[in-house]
């Protein structure tokens, strides 16, 4: 999730760079809220249906589906956003943080940030990581993760730090230079942090107050180390053009919207009806879910404009339909838009 929120924040920087705030919010609404509502009414209900029958309900889908329009929130009712909470949170961040984005977009502000980081590279890590750790230690750990927006203030704020950091990284190219230089160190520290966390977790070690604070400090830090390591590796080794990336840039959003429902439907029948080992079931569910997602996107979403609209796939201008997006930033900007 940190990586997804960070990339989304960086995408917002690219989307807002050449747009007015009004056009930016309009596009965010169309690409986030429309798929959210569509998913809540069409894509998510099968997840709830299979949960109900797994727990003993005997109704069929035709009798179940009209109850969605009673508009009673899950779990008491059958209306929910389930995995689409991520999309809702993206819209909340895009709207609430817009004044901050507009300030950071100013040319003189970007120059100051770049100069500070260029002269003091270590500051890049403090600027990115410190807000997440502070919020996690003072607020998030005292709350439960609900993904329901209303009762999820601790995690809403926590994920928001990654989104904001992604936007900030877009305004500061010198930050990327520093991250790319530290690939090996970031990867090594990420691995070490995971080892330390799991030594404590697996052995159920009881910690005194100081060590417990260090352990809690390490949890969000580890997330950032892995995120930075992945960004560094990606910047160094994956900054290349490939036709698959062009296709994937358009397909990834529909994939996200579809994936959980497809996994649950296939998983229900495999888990309840097939007598195989866990590994065989996992491989089949993963493979079948991926293939089915590709098929649905390729034959039911990609060819039809109304389906592309409902799944948030951006329409390319005619002048750009043959563009190969040979530059990584061009691909990211297209995806952000």
Q: Kindly report the average pLDDT of the chain as a whole number.
A: 88
Burial class of residue 204 (count of CB atoms within 10 Å of its CB; 0-12, 13-18, 19+): exposed
* Mean pLDDT of the region 60-73: 95
pLDDT band at 206; cut points 50, 70, 90: confident
Q: What pLDDT score does 174 carry?
A: 84
The predicted-structure confidence for 80-123, as pLDDT tens digits, reads as follows 999 999 999 999 999 999 999 999 888 888 888 888 887 777 88
- Say which residue the tokens 């040319």 belong to: 107
The predicted-structure confidence for 160-169, as pLDDT tens digits, reads as follows 999 999 999 8
Question: How many CA atoms does the CB half-sphere of 156 hold within 13 Å?
Answer: 19
The predicted-structure confidence for 277-336, as pLDDT tens digits, reads as follows 888 899 999 999 999 999 999 999 999 999 999 999 987 655 444 444 444 444 454 444
Residue 138 pLDDT > 80, yes or no? yes
Q: What pLDDT score does 334 carry?
A: 45
Q: What pLDDT score does 326 carry?
A: 40
Q: What pLDDT score does 319 carry?
A: 46
Find out whether the peptide bond into 36 is cis, omega within 30 degrees of 0: no
pTM score: 0.88
pLDDT band at 261; cut points 50, 70, 90: very high
């Amino acid at each position: 999730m940190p990586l997804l929120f960070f990339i989304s924040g960086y995408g917002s920087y690219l989307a807002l760079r050449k747009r007015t705030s009004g056009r930016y919010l309009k596009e965010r609404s169309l690409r986030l809220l429309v798929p959210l509502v569509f998913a809540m009414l069409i894509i998510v209900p099968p997840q709830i249906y299979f949960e109900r029958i797994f727990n003993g309900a005997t109704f069929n889908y035709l009798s179940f589906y009209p109850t969605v329009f009673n508009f009673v929130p899950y779990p008491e009712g059958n209306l929910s956003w389930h995995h689409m909470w991520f999309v809702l949170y993206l819209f909340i961040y895009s709207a609430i943080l817009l004044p901050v984005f507009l300030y950071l977009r100013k040319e003189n502000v970007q120059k100051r940030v770049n100069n500070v980081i260029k002269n003091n590279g270590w500051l890049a890590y403090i600027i990115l990581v410190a807000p997440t750790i502070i919020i996690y230690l003072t607020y998030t750990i005292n709350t439960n993760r609900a993904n329901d927006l209303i009762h999820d203030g601790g995690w809403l704020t926590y994920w928001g730090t990654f989104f904001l950091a992604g936007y900030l990284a877009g305004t500061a190219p010198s930050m990327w230079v520093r991250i790319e230089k530290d690939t090996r160190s970031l990867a090594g520290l990420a691995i070490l942090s995971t080892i330390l966390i799991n030594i404590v977790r697996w052995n159920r070690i009881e910690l005194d107050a100081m060590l417990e604070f260090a352990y809690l400090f390490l949890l969000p830090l580890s997330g950032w180390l892995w995120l930075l390591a992945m960004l560094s590796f990606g910047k160094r080794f994956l900054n290349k053009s490939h036709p698959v990336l062009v296709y994937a840039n358009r397909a990834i959003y529909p994939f996200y919207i579809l994936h959980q429902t497809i996994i649950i439907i296939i998983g229900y029948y495999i888990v309840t009806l097939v007598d195989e080992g866990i590994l065989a079931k996992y491989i089949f569910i993963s493979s079948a879910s991926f293939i089915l997602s590709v098929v649905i996107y390729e034959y039911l979403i990609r060819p039809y404009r109304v389906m592309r609209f409902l799944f948030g796939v951006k329409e390319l201008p005619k002048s750009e339909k043959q563009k190969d997006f040979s530059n990584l930033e061009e691909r990211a900007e297209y995806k952000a838009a």
